[in-house]
Structure 1
Amino acid sequence: MSDTNWWFVDQALVIAVTGALTLGILSGIGGVGRIALTVPLVLFLPGYALVSALFPDEPNDEYQSFDDEKTGLGNPLLVSGGLESIERAVLSVVSSVAVVPAVTLFSTATPRGIALEPVLSALAVLTVLLALAAIGARYRCPPDRRFVPALPSGSPFFAPGRPSPYQRVSCRPYNVAIAAGLLLLVMSGGFALANPPQHDGFTEVSVETENVSGETQTMYDSTYSAGERHELNATITNQEHEERTYTTVVMLERVSDDGDDLTVHESTEMDRRTATVADGESRQQTLEITPSMRGDDLRLTLLLYNGEAPAEPTTESAYRTMHLPIEVE
């Protein structure tokens, strides 16, 4: 079988390698192995598939005369229908640098936002689609004009293959500059993948809300009966970049507000619960409340602690605090 029968082999490899790298990254590989799998998927494969779809034909070094009637020039014009291997390699890296941010920007509009799995999946699907488009574009080219991947016989950078009046100029400085630029790009990409930016850790606490209607005055159940057992559902969301154990304490307080300061006159602990929440996950707690006070000057105070709560919990010692004004009949 001649080399011309293998015009699609590079795109088949792009599809296979993209699938293998994606599965490897999603399988949970970490450290240097994760970087080694991610760099080609981010910095080369999408751009190579895109460039192959845009330029499906091989380089064509032919001379064509200008139209004397239109230009009045008689000098020949060098026409090239495709790209050399080095041109494809450089454009592949540059195109990948442009494609990946576009995919990431698109991911911000999805329900999951910028996360590894949706971004990686979208990038892999796009790369496969571009590779299939490249196969179709080459198939439409005449067989003698299709680009057929082949191992370079000489230097991969600016190997002399076209007649040029600048033959005497040494290409070595340009080769070194391109090689250094590509190496720097790969190293910077690897560093960015190994050290992704992270926001400061935080924890959220919220309470279960009622169905909102035009008559809704509060987003939670604010009316209680003295001596009766009630339940309050609180949700803890951990964004601290590590697993945390929390303690939630709910206090019933009688308060007064003179306009300048709010004073707590009575305080009774209703319940405390402990929960371990993994990073990026949420956990719901059901807190039991049996009010022993009456009046409309009461509030429930949720105090969230990292780890154990002190014997006498206060707003100042808590990691997170939530106040819920209530009325007890």
Structure 2
Amino acid sequence: MNWRDHWDLLTITGLSLLLDLLILLTPGSMLRKALGLAFILFFPGYVFITALFPERKELDNLERLALSFGLSIAIVPLIGLALNYTPWGIRLTPILTSLTIFNLIFAVAAIYRREKAFEPWIPRITLERIKKELEWPESSRLDRILTVILIAAIVTSVATLAYVISHPKPGEAFTEFYILGPGGKAADYPTNLAVGENGTVIIGIVNHEHRNVTYHVQMWLVNLTWDNTTNTTIVHGMYPMPGWFNITLPSVPVNIEGNWTPQFEKNYTFSIKKPGCWQVWFLLFKERNPKLPPPPADGNYAETDAKNLILEAVNGTVQSLKLNVCVKP
């Protein structure tokens, strides 16, 4: 066996293993990004095509090049789809391992089939060889123009795809806003209290806005009903609760691997001094803290413009959470 005849497959095998080491040792290097693009966009399709069509007469060089890119774009999502139904899931390590094994298996198969081929296709990259493969001297002017256009289209498509992958658009900007029970779980909320009895929840905020954000959190004790006749919300009682706060948080990336970790959490303890069925509303404002009108004599803001805050929360235009609490005498 002349290993020089398989330089292309051995190179792909070596570069696949080198990429594994780069991701392990220097995950932020530019070489990793360059190899990663080839690893995804070219290597799988190339070894697959070479294993399927080892004979020279079966495909010409241009067809092999185009199919290598096209099949790579098809193979990688299929491997990801298969991983989605395994315990490992679609994560960096399983995907990297699966594609490396795929490249190794089909590279070995391609070497075996190339050795058994009657007239194997062996890439020899020289200018004269390229002209011969393209039948450049015998081609008409129109054929030459079409060949150049096809090559330019392939190069442009690959370059554009590489740029899109290497310069991804920022993900959706959003904020996680949640409340948990006193045990740190979405359970055991203090929904049944006696007058004056303390209830505790955990307020959590996670910033995914791609910028530093100052958050203002308001808590309101609200009594409201829905009028079916007019299809409107009627606020009967609206009382500010103590403990309003603000916090500035840096943006953190969305973590799709490993365990989820909170960015900011705060225990909030409250008590309600009036019996009845109430709603405790938690309103979240970004970079602004709405001014309130002068406090009414009885402390009920339901007849003031402040009720618009609750109406906006009901309509979903203000990020908010609510907790239904029944208070016994």
Q: Same fold (TM over 0.5)?
A: yes
Pairing 1:99–2:40 present: no
Among 283, 296, 305, which residue is 2:285 paired with? 305
Do 1:58 and 1:148's aligned partners in 2 also have CA atoms closer than 8 Å?
yes
Structure 1 equivalent of residue 303 of structure 2: none
Do 1:244 and 1:306's aligned partners in 2 also have CA atoms closer than 8 Å?
yes
Structure 2 equivalent of residue 72 of structure 1: none
Q: Give secondary structure in 1 for the equivalent of 2:218.
A: strand
Paired amino acid for 1:41: F
Pairing 1:220–2:200 present: no
Q: Deviations over 1:40-68 (max 9, x none)?
A: 2332112112112222x342xxxxxxxxx
Do 2:55 and 2:119's aligned partners in 1 also have CA atoms closer than 8 Å?
yes
Which whole-Å CA distance do the structure 1 matches of 2:217 and 2:284 have between them?
5
Q: Give secondary structure in 2 for the equivalent of 1:159.
A: helix
Paired amino acid for 1:206: Y
Cα distance change, pair 242–109 in 1 and its aligned pair in 2 (3 A): farther
Gaps in structure 1 of 5+ consecutive residues: 60-79, 212-217
Do 2:223 and 2:278's aligned partners in 1 also have CA atoms closer than 8 Å?
yes
Pairing 1:291–2:282 present: no
Structure 2 equivalent of residue 152 of structure 1: 125
Structure 1 equivalent of residue 157 of structure 2: 185
Structure 2 equivalent of residue 261 of structure 1: 233
Which whole-Å CA distance do the structure 1 matches of 2:174 and 2:281 have between them?
20
Do 2:285 and 2:319's aligned partners in 1 also have CA atoms closer than 8 Å?
yes
Which whole-Å CA distance do the structure 1 matches of 2:120 and 2:139 have between them?
28
Paired amino acid for 2:235: T
Q: Work out the number of aligned pairs and report it.
A: 291
Among 169, 176, 179, which residue is 2:139 paired with? 169
Higher helix share: 2
Q: Give secondary structure in 2 for the equivalent of 1:227.
A: coil
> How far did 1:300 drift?
0.7
> How far did 1:29 drift?
3.6
Structure 1 equivalent of residue 302 of structure 2: none
Among 102, 108, 114, which residue is 1:135 paired with? 108
Structure 2 equivalent of residue 74 of structure 1: none
Structure 1 equivalent of residue 13 of structure 2: 15
Q: Give secondary structure in 2 for the equivalent of 1:233.
A: strand
Identity %: 21
- Structure 1 window deviating more from structure 2 (137-146 vs 9-18): it is 137-146
Q: Deviations over 1:233-268 (max 9, x none)?
A: 2333433234544343333x1414262432142413
Do 1:7 and 1:146's aligned partners in 2 also have CA atoms closer than 8 Å?
no
Among 83, 89, 99, which residue is 2:65 paired with? 89
Cα distance change, pair 133–160 in 1 and its aligned pair in 2 (3 A): closer
Q: Give secondary structure in 2 for the equivalent of 1:135.
A: helix
Do 2:193 and 2:325's aligned partners in 1 also have CA atoms closer than 8 Å?
yes
Which whole-Å CA distance do the structure 2 matches of 1:143 and 1:113 have between them?
38
Which whole-Å CA distance do the structure 2 matches of 1:256 and 1:94 have between them?
59
- Structure 1 window deviating more from structure 2 (180-189 vs 39-48): it is 39-48
Do 1:6 and 1:148's aligned partners in 2 also have CA atoms closer than 8 Å?
no
Pairing 1:233–2:231 present: no
Cα distance change, pair 219–112 in 1 and its aligned pair in 2 (3 A): farther
CA RMSD of aligned residues (A): 4.1
Cα distance change, pair 15–263 in 1 and its aligned pair in 2 (3 A): same
Which whole-Å CA distance do the structure 2 matches of 1:178 and 1:256 have between them?
67
Q: Give secondary structure in 1 for the equivalent of 2:210.
A: coil
